[in-house]
Structure formats: structure tokens, C-alpha cells
Amino acid sequence: MTQAAALDRTAESLLAFWAEAGVDAMLLDTPIDKIEAGKFVAPKPAEKKPLLVAAPKPGVSDISAAVAQARHLAAEAKDLDALKAAIAGFDGCPLKFEGARQSVFARGAVDAPLLIIGEGPGPEEDARGEPFIGDAGQLLDRMLGAAGLTDRVFITNTVFWRPPGDRTPSLQEQQVCAPFLERAIELVAPKMLLLLGAPSAKAMLKRDEGILSLRGRWFEWRSESGHLELPAMPTLHPAFLLWQPGAKKKAWSDLLTLTERLDRPDRGA
């Protein structure tokens, strides 16, 4: 590997680390020494500015109609096959028309005690119509096998179409897909949820912390209707672990903690 290639890989790895930690913006391209710059400059009095109303962001529109339609279609799905068909026929998510080849719903055991939720499909998933089948998915499968969870999981995502350029799905895109995801949870009826990566954890738990703060902790996920509650644990996304192999120890610890609780005998009355 050339020195330039090694530097590029290091930079990509560092960016992946900060993105997974929740950093999504950079304030300035170059640092400025504010103390040195302001040594001989008297502070200016605050200037009164007229109150401005923020214009709506491009591409963000009222999604209530799309969410209502998704909720109606999801409620009508009596099994997972019907739910998969409803998702494929749904036109309310803009990701469907931004280059995705097909919808990508789920894979795994239909009566799994553990339901795993990732971010969104990547190129391999988009091509084959199944979630987590690329490099990250293969790593996830190896980890699940080592933890004794093979054939005990149902795997899906917060959105069902590949975002263009493999960007993070927007909150609006996740909200439109949420009724289908909640219906999947109802039909599978798992004992608990494993949330892979910051986008999944933030969307499901309605929290703003980065994944490095959320991972390994137990939270209660509640459906929008409030009728369903499940314990949920966020952990690091397998794609992040491919960039940061040193973080695998943390993800493995999270998985062992979850497995111990999953296999703990019920102590109810």
C-alpha cells in the first residue's frame, strides 16, 4: 500500500468513527485563533436584526398523508408475506424513486425472540432484496453465530429502500417507514430489540445521543400506539466495526449482555 493510499484509508476510518459517534457537521474548514485575532479589536455593540422566519428545508414536506397511508396498509397485513407485499407496493417513501432497484424488507426466523434493526439497505441488499448480506451482514452473521443466536433472529431496517449514495436516511424517511416496521415487530412478537448504529437507535428510541453513549445500555422501546413495549439495546453497526476493528470488543460485550438476558428464565408469577 502506498503512503498516499494509507493516508486516505486512515482519513476514511477517522471520518467513519466520528460519524458513528454522532458528529454530523463541521463548523469551519480551518482553525482560527480567536484570542490572537481579537487582541486589539474592541467588541462591537450587538446589532439588532429583524426576526426572520426560517424557510422550509428543501425536500422536506408534510409527510402526514404518507404516514397515514403506511399505517393503514400495515394494519391490513395479517402476516409477514402480506406486509412485505404492502411495502413493495407503497409509493409514499421518496427513496423508492431515487434510484433503488427494489424494496428490501427482512430475513430470518418469523418467530424470532430477537429482532435486529439496522439503518437501511446498501448496494448488495438493493440488488438481492435482502438486508445485511454484504460485508457488514457477513460480519453480523459471524457474531450472531458465535453468540449462539443463529436462526433466533429476525433482521430488518428503519427504511426499506437504499438511500442514494448510501447516505444516512432522513428522519422523515424513517417516519414514513415506521408503521411497517412496527407492524413487523407486532407480527414477529420478539422478546427484545437490538438496534444497530446511531440512525437506528435514534429513530427507535427518540434520543439524540451518539451511539458511543447509547451502546450497551438498556432502554424501553414503545410503539406509537403505546400498546407494545420491549427492552432494546443499541450497539455499534457492523459496518463501523469493519472500519474500526478495535471496537469489536465493545460490540461483542453488548451482544453477550443481550444474549444473557434473552436466555434468562422468566421469573414472573
Q: According to the model, what pLDDT value does residue 59 have?
A: 42
Q: According to the model, what pLDDT value does residue 3 have?
A: 57
Q: According to the model, what pLDDT value does residue 19 have?
A: 59
Per-residue pLDDT of the chain (269 residues; tens, 9 = 90+): 555 555 555 555 555 555 555 555 555 455 555 455 554 444 555 554 443 333 333 344 589 999 999 999 999 999 999 999 999 999 999 999 999 999 999 999 999 999 999 999 999 999 999 999 999 999 999 999 999 999 999 999 999 999 999 999 999 999 999 999 999 999 999 999 999 999 999 999 999 999 999 999 999 999 988 889 999 999 999 999 999 999 999 999 999 999 999 999 864 43
Report DSSP letters for the chain, one per residue.
--HHHHHHHHHHHHHHHHHHTT----S-SS---HHHHTTT-PPPPPPP----PPPPPTT----HHHHHHHHHHHHH--SHHHHHHHHHH----GGGGTT--S----EE-TT-SEEEEES---HHHHHHT-SS-SHHHHHHHHHHHHTT-TTSEEEEES-SSPPGGGPPPPHHHHHHHHHHHHHHHHHH--SEEEEESHHHHHHHHT--S-HHHHTT--EEEE-TTSS-EEEEEEE--HHHHHH-GGGHHHHHHHHHHHHHHHTSPP---
Q: According to the model, what pLDDT value does residue 15 have?
A: 55
Q: According to the model, what pLDDT value does residue 269 have?
A: 36
Q: According to the model, what pLDDT value does residue 34 have?
A: 47
Where does 64-262 sit in CATH, by number?
Answer: 3.40.470.10
Q: According to the model, what pLDDT value does residue 265 have?
A: 83
Q: According to the model, what pLDDT value does residue 41 have?
A: 47
Provide the residue ranges of all domains of the chain, joining segments of one domain with +: 64-262
